[in-house]
């Protein structure tokens, strides 16, 4: 099995808008994850943030993907946003137990904190993380402005991440905030996405970049230029970055991810991505 220098993924694996150009016409929703995982190396598991899956669904996710595929599931919002990491030891235990069949396919558990979770709650975060199994990889995303001011509070947070071996998840929402919200898609994206500075810091071995792009693929290329230097630097240091691509509505996310990966492959010796299943199916049909 080839060791990947970088893992490329999207925020979701099931999107009806991708049916004609990505999955292929007639693909049932139950087969979308399998087809997604033929192309991409990882995926953001947003679904677990909103609701815990059934045990059978967990097994289906495991069976639909290869041994080399990696999920990055978010911890439930009950833990992170409703309880804000307090009094949720049982909820954490129950969630991780439910997800046991997938533990070998978890690249990173994601702890996404709400914007109101400030450095004043740093000890709460530390106490919670002592409950988290030490052998499970963890990435932490903060959104409170004080974590981005390059002061004593951010320094203490980053040093703790490094000491614990936790990855700091890096949000790059510059593209989606670079234009006025002239349509419903951009209005919604700018309402939901955090507008925080980009602090390109790797605190552990799997730095995760969440790149939030504009609907047009070409409009994002200039914003990706700094990553064409930073990602090869991390790879050269022996790290394996996770590059997660979003767009304002995610309709063109697969094409954007493909384009940015091809740009990066000009500077790093990355293996080619597989064709989108729809294109591969069309090519096979044309042979008959």
Where is pLDDT greater, at 99 or 282? 99
Check whether 130 has a pLDDT greater than 80: yes
- Tracing tokens 């493909």 back to the chain, one arrives at 258
Residue 206 to residue 285: CA distance in whole angstroms: 40
* Nearest Cα residue to 208 out of 197, 196, 199, 221: 199
User: Tell me, what's the pLDDT at 44?
Assistant: 94
What's the pLDDT score for residue 288? 44
Q: Kindly report, residue by residue over 217-276, the tens digit of the pLDDT.
A: 999 999 999 999 999 999 999 999 999 999 999 999 999 999 999 999 999 999 999 999
CA distance 41 to 24: 19
Q: What percent of the chain has pLDDT over 90?
A: 94
Region 4-18 average pLDDT: 96
CA distance linking residue 217 with residue 219, whole number of Å: 6
Q: Mean of the pLDDT values across residues 171-187?
A: 94
- Per the prediction, the chain carries an average pLDDT of 94
pLDDT value at residue 287: 46
In this predicted structure, the answer to whether residue 1 has a pLDDT above a threshold of 80 is no
**In this model, does residue 282 exceed pLDDT 80?**
no
pTM exceeds 0.85 for this model: yes
Segment holding 141, helix H or strand E: strand 138-141
Assign domain 7-286 one CATH number from 1.10.30.50, 3.20.20.410, 3.30.300.30, 3.40.50.720.
3.20.20.410
Handedness of CA 58, 4, 246, 132 (dihedral sign): positive
Q: Contact 250/12 with Cβ under 8 angstroms?
A: yes
CA R_g for the chain: 19
pLDDT at 281 over 90: no
Indicate the DSSP class of residue 207.
-
Alpha-helical segments (H) within 72-195: 77, 89-98, 122-131, 152-164, 184-192
**Mean pLDDT value across residues 72-80:** 97
């Amino acid at each position: 099995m080839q060791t990947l220098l970088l893992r490329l993924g999207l925020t979701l694996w099931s999107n009806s808008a991708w049916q004609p150009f990505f999955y292929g016409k007639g693909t049932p929703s139950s087969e979308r994850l399998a087809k997604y995982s033929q192309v991409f190396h990882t995926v953001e598991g947003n679904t677990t943030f909103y609701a815990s899956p059934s045990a059978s669904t967990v097994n289906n996710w495991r069976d639909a993907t290869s041994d080399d595929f990696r999920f990055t599931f978010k911890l439930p919002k009950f833990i992170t946003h409703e309880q804000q990491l307090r009094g949720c030891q049982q909820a954490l235990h129950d969630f991780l137990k439910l997800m046991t069949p997938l533990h070998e396919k978890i690249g990173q558990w994601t702890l996404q904190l709400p914007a109101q979770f400030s450095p004043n709650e740093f000890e709460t975060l530390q106490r919670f993380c002592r409950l988290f199994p030490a052998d499970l990889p963890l990435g932490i995303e903060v959104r409170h402005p004080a974590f981005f001011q390059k002061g004593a509070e951010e320094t203490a947070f980053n040093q703790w991440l490094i000491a614990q071996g936790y990855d700091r998840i890096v949000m790059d929402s510059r593209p989606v905030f670079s234009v006025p919200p002239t349509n419903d898609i951009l209005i919604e994206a700018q309402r939901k996405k955090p507008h925080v500075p980009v602090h390109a810091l790797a605190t552990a071995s799997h730095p995760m970049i969440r790149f939030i792009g504009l609907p047009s693929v070409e409009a994002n290329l200039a914003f990706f230029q700094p990553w064409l230097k930073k990602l090869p630097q991390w790879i050269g240091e022996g790290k394996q970055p996770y590059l997660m691509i979003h767009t304002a509505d995610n309709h063109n996310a697969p094409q954007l991810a493909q384009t940015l990966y091809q740009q990066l492959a000009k500077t790093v010796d990355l293996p080619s991505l597989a064709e989108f299943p729809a294109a591969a199916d069309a090519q096979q049909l044309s042979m008959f």
